[in-house]
């Protein structure tokens, strides 16, 4: 599946819209579906960004861990400037 960050943003926006709707069983099921879709797009975005930097990871948990480490490293570099 090929996607863009814009699609991820739209998925998160849709999740926020669903969460603002009155609570019902349908709203609950829709929010779970929207969350799963947004999460999938999010971790695949991170995976693609890490691969572009030569970092190979597999699972969503690995991707998130590597991404956080990369962000912390970048933050330390920015503070050093």
Specify whether the CB–CB gap between 47 and 67 falls below 8 A.
no
pLDDT of residue 10: 92
Helix (H) or strand (E) holding 23: none
Q: Tell me: the pLDDT tens digits for 10-57?
A: 999 999 999 999 999 999 999 999 999 998 888 888 788 778 888 877
pTM of this prediction? 0.67
């Amino acid at each position: 599946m090929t996607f863009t960050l814009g699609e991820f943003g739209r998925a998160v926006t849709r999740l926020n819209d669903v969460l603002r709707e009155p609570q019902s069983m349908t709203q609950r099921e829709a929010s779970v579906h929207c969350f799963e879709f947004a999460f999938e797009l999010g971790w695949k975005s991170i995976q693609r960004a890490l691969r572009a930097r030569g970092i190979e990871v597999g699972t969503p948990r690995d991707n998130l861990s590597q991404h956080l480490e990369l962000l912390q490293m970048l933050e330390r570099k920015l503070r050093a400037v």
